[in-house]
Amino acid sequence: MVRLTIDNKKIKVEEGTTLLETAQKLNIEIPTLCHHQALKPYGACRVCLVEVIKGSRLGLVASCTYPAEEGLVARTETERVKRARRLSIELLLARCPTSEKVREVALELGVKKVRFKEEKEECILCGLCVRVCEEAIAKSAISFINRGADREVTTPFKIGSLACIGCGACVYLCPTGAIKIEDVRKCRRLDFWNTKLELKKCKVCGKHFVPLVELDYLKDRIKSFEEMELPEEALEVCPKCRKRILSEKAGEFIFGEKYP
């Protein structure tokens, strides 16, 4: 355990806890854009900056990556912190002026005008998509490429990915809405990743609803259908039909055969 102080509040936390997590325990709010509690911190957006005082040294650090240290004193509300966060979000806003999430955080931090040349990028390079695909889905279908001003996220060789299963985890986490996912008849499209995947037909209603490769992935991940009391066909029926069948079964169970 280490003891530290944030905004004059003392706290004891497990070693390896980040400053952001520590602050959250103290109900101190820190804005974030590239952080997700289930993924490894990455420190890309710099809106979570806080001030740390070590001895006589003062520094600004990204709280999502900075580990709590014994005796550390941190402040989250000083003028310097506010100014630094505002600059970070202003730069991001100049890059992606249309992103809801970025605008929301900008507003929270009191940034209304952007002094820099506006670009029309869709991506702020937060890396959430890359991390969720690698850490949670274990597919690593996408990655950062190039560096410096040319850095971007994309699939290998910028062509359709053979690793992508079309699960949509990246779409869900992306703060800017850069990645779109769409089912068009027999096909799931993720245009941002140049990827198209064939969908499976629901056994009952005939609607196409899940990418074949995602189905294989799920079957693989669910080790034992028996243990879960799940018939293997459960995955071959679309969620809507599955729900109907289940409620019918429940009805029969409760009201007897003749239901409804």
Partner 1 sequence: MRKIDRIIKRHKKKGALVPLLQDVMAEYGYLPQRTIERISQELDIPLSQVYSLATFYKSFSLTPRGKYLISVCLGTACHVRGAPRIVEKLERDLGIRAGETTKDSKFTLETVNCLGACALGPLVVIDGKYFGRINLSRLDEVLKDYLK
33 binds ligand SF4 (CB under 6 A): no
Among the candidate windows 69-77, 79-87, 122-130, 217-225, which touches ligand SF4 by CB under 6 A?
Answer: 122-130
Q: What is the spatial distance between Cα 52 and Cα 80, in angstroms, rounded to a whole number?
A: 11
**Closest approach of ligand SF4 to the CB of residue 94, in Å:** 15
Judging by beta carbons within 10 Å of its beta carbon (0-12, 13-18, 19+), is residue 247 exposed, middle or buried? exposed
Q: Rounded to the nearest 5°, which phi and psi values hold at 35?
A: -105, 140
Q: What is the spatial distance between Cα 112 and Cα 93, in angstroms, rounded to a whole number?
A: 10
Q: Give the bridge partners for 30, in sequence order.
A: none
171 binds ligand SF4 (CB under 6 A): no
Output the CA torsion 9→22→43→155 (10° steps). Answer: -160
35 binds ligand FES (CB under 6 A): yes
Dump the DSSP string for 152-183. EEE-GGGS--SS-----HHHHH-SS-----EE
Contact set with partner 1 (CB under 8 A): 134, 139-147, 155-157, 161-163
Closer to ligand SF4 by Cβ: residue 133 or 199: 133
Residue 64 interacts, among partner 1, ligand SF4, ligand FES, none and using kind-specific CB cut-offs from 5 to 8 Å, with: ligand FES
If binding means CB under 6 A, how many residues of this protein chain bind ligand FES? 12
Closer to ligand SF4 by Cβ: residue 101 or 201: 101
45 binds ligand FES (CB under 6 A): yes
> Which of 26, 43, 168, 204: binder of ligand FES (CB under 6 A)?
43
How many Cβ atoms from other residues are within 10 Å of residue 102's Cβ? 24
Interface with ligand SF4 by CB under 6 A: which residues? 123-129, 153, 173-176, 178-179
